Structures are given as C-alpha cells and as structure tokens.
Structure 1
Amino acid sequence: MDEIVKAALAKWPNVPACTGWLLLDRRGQWRMRDEGAQARGELGTPVRHEALIGFINRNYECDESGQWFFQNGPQRVYVELAYTPWVVRLARAPEGGDASCMPAPTLTAHTGTAFEPAEVFIDDEGAVLFVDDTKPPRAALLHDHDLDLFSDLATFDDESGGRLPWGAARTLSIGRIARSVVPERFGFVASPATKAAKRG
C-alpha cells in the first residue's frame, strides 16, 4: 500500500466504502462503471491512464471476508470481479541451454507481479485457472490470448485432467472444476455490490 494512502487512512479513518464503481474484467483490465453502466449490467469503460492503473494495482487488497478492493486514499472501493480476483499472462520459458535445467514458463498477474502456480484447473466453460499456495490460495484466470500457448505446453490425459510441465523438475496437475464453485472454493466474493445490497 502506498505511503500516501496509509497517511490518508490515518487522517480520515471512517470514510464510507463504495461498491459497484470499479470492475476487473476477464482480461485484467480495470473498468470504471457509472450509474448507467451499473444499472444496465455493463462492464464499464476501461481505465487507460497508466498512472491511475499503477495506483490501483499497488493498492489492490482483500478484506477478511474475501472481498477485493482498491484503497483510494481514505476510501475503500470494492471491486466487482468478472471472474477471479487475478488475471495472468503466460509466457514460454526462454529457449536454449541445458534441458536438465530448463527454466519454467512464467505467469505475470494483471498487477505486473509474478504469480507462482501450485495447481491448474479447467472449468466447465473451458477457462484455465492457476492457483497458488498462499493462505488462502489465490485463483487467477488465464488471459484468453494465452490459451493456445497453454494447449501447446499441456498434456491432457482424458476428460478428467492432465499435466503441465513447469521447468525441468516440476509438473503441475490439471484438474477440472465447475465455474459455479470457484468463488467459494477459493474464498473470494465476485460481487461486493450484490452482497451489500442483500445486507441492506
């Protein structure tokens, strides 16, 4: 969290949170949603300003109930999730060198940080999810532009799953999962706005 944000929180600790105005789409883009977009159920307008994107990325966190938010100074802005709280890009390992010490492919989150996977799942709609081993585990949707690369790297046994080589000495299992159970399984709230409306 930025120091300027920490200072604002200390100065104005009781600013009400807001919901519905910021969304993370399936390609890792932040989108602003005005009242019209919210009413129509639209994704909203992509944020294009690089400094603002960087500010959101650095101050993106999760509360104790699994709701992800952007701490905008003293105000907590809860994020609507088009699917998972993280979106990752997959890159092939560099070519060349000794095959016995071949580096693993890499995953980079939408925030620009590295994402180290422990498991892989394919949901019932064909989306690929990477899950890390943090506590609680973070689930990340693979950007759809990288599905072909994933298919090139993975080996599929049958309808139940497969394997994904991850460097010379490690292989990740690929399991199957229903999209409907993903939020509960990995402990996140897809729509804080809906949750707030039910409380109210």
Structure 2
Amino acid sequence: MDDIVKAALKKWPNVPACHGWLALDARGDWYMRDERIQAAGPFPQVKGSRITHDKLKDFIHRNYAADEQGAWFFQNGPQRVYVELEVAPWVWRLQADPAGPVLVCSHTGVPAQFQSAWLDEHGRLFLDTDLGLGVVHTLDMEAAAQAVETGQWQVRDVRFAELPARHAYVLSPQRAQA
C-alpha cells in the first residue's frame, strides 16, 4: 500500500466505504460504474466506463487487497472502494518458458506461484496460486495448454458457483452487503 494512502487512513480513519463504483472483468480491465450505470444493471451485464489511464491503473494495482470476509477493494486514500468481480480477484497472464515452468503474473504485475488448475463448466481455466485464485486471460490459453500437455499442470473440473466459497472471495460486495 502506498505511503500516502497509509497517511490518509491515519488522518481520516472513519471514512465510509464505497460499493458498486469499481469493477474488474475477466480480462483484467477496471471499470468505473457511476450511479446511472449501476441503475442500468449489475456487473458484468452493464460494465461502465473502462479505465484506460495508466497511472490510475497503477495506483489501483498498488492499493488492491481483500478484507477479512474475502471482499476485494481498492484503498483510495482514506476510502475503501469495494470491487465487483466478474469471475475472480486475479486475472493471470502467462508466459511460456521452454526451459522451465510457465510463468504466472497477475493483472496487477505481481508474480505468482502455481498451486492447482481448475476448469469450469464455461471452459474458463482458473489457477490457484500463492496469491489466491484467478482466471487465466483468454489471450494466454496457448501457454496454459502447453503447461497441461507437458504435464506441468493437472486440471480438475469445478462448477463456477463453487469457486468463491471454496477460495474465500466475494464476487459482489455490494450484493453481499444488501
């Protein structure tokens, strides 16, 4: 977490949390969801405005974490902005390495260590890592297939609805709060 964020938390410790205004899709893209967008429908059916500003995305990435209940948030100064998740708290980017295992990195740029692989009924590949559960980015399925074909990863079937409870995360903190 950024030092400026830690200082703001000390200065203003009781700022109410924000729900519904920020979302993360299955490709690792962040979306702002103002009141009009929230009223138009739930995420991901109505996504909102994609965040494209690199410095803002970097700031979100550095201050992205989970609370004790498994709800993910972005600590924006003294305010905790809870994140609506399309499928998981992490989106994995993969890089095939001919000399060793496939390298796994989060959408926030943090390297992760593979632990297990899961395939849901929609054909999405999830990896459990030392950081937690995430979905493999669609552009990286070739590297994932290589890991499976070479025996690096053994894939197990799972129903998508089981993943949040099994891996202790909340898809919609706003709906969980209601």
With structure 1 as the length reference, what TM-score do the two structures score? Answer: 0.83
Unmatched segments (≥5 aa) in structure 2:
none
Letter in 2 for 1:107: V
Partner of 2:7: 7
Q: Which has the larger radius of gyration?
A: 1
1:130 aligned onto 2:127: yes
1:119, distance to aligned residue in structure 2 (A): 0.3
**1:61-76 matched pairs, under 5 angstroms:** 61-76=65-80
1:133, distance to aligned residue in structure 2 (A): 4.0
Unmatched segments (≥5 aa) in structure 1:
96-101, 156-163, 166-170
Partner of 2:57: 53
Letter in 2 for 1:139: L
Percent sequence identity over aligned pairs: 43
1:83, distance to aligned residue in structure 2 (A): 0.6
With structure 2 as the length reference, what TM-score do the two structures score? Answer: 0.93
**Residue aligned with 2:154, SS:** strand
1:143 aligned onto 2:137: yes
| In 2, Cα distance between equivalents of 1:106 and 1:149 | 9
1:103, distance to aligned residue in structure 2 (A): 2.1
**1:19-168 matched pairs, under 5 angstroms:** 19-41=19-41, 42-93=46-97, 95=98, 102-133=99-130, 138-155=132-149, 165=151
Q: Report if aligned partners of 2:23, 2:84 keep a CA contact under 8 Å in 1.
A: yes
1:189 aligned onto 2:177: no
| In 1, Cα distance between equivalents of 2:59 and 2:106 | 15
Aligned residues between the structures: 174
Letter in 2 for 1:69: F
Partner of 1:99: none
Q: Report if aligned partners of 2:102, 2:147 keep a CA contact under 8 Å in 1.
A: no
Partner of 2:160: 179
1:152, distance to aligned residue in structure 2 (A): 3.7
| In 2, Cα distance between equivalents of 1:149 and 1:61 | 27
**Residue aligned with 2:114, SS:** coil
Q: Report if aligned partners of 2:147, 2:153 keep a CA contact under 8 Å in 1.
A: no
| In 1, Cα distance between equivalents of 2:79 and 2:146 | 44
| In 2, Cα distance between equivalents of 1:195 and 1:10 | 27
**Residue aligned with 1:7, SS:** helix
**C-alpha distance after superposition, 1:45-68 (max 9, x if no partner):** 111111110100000011001100
Q: Report if aligned partners of 2:63, 2:74 keep a CA contact under 8 Å in 1.
A: yes
**C-alpha distance after superposition, 1:82-112 (max 9, x if no partner):** 010000111110x4xxxxxx22211110001
| In 2, Cα distance between equivalents of 1:119 and 1:67 | 22
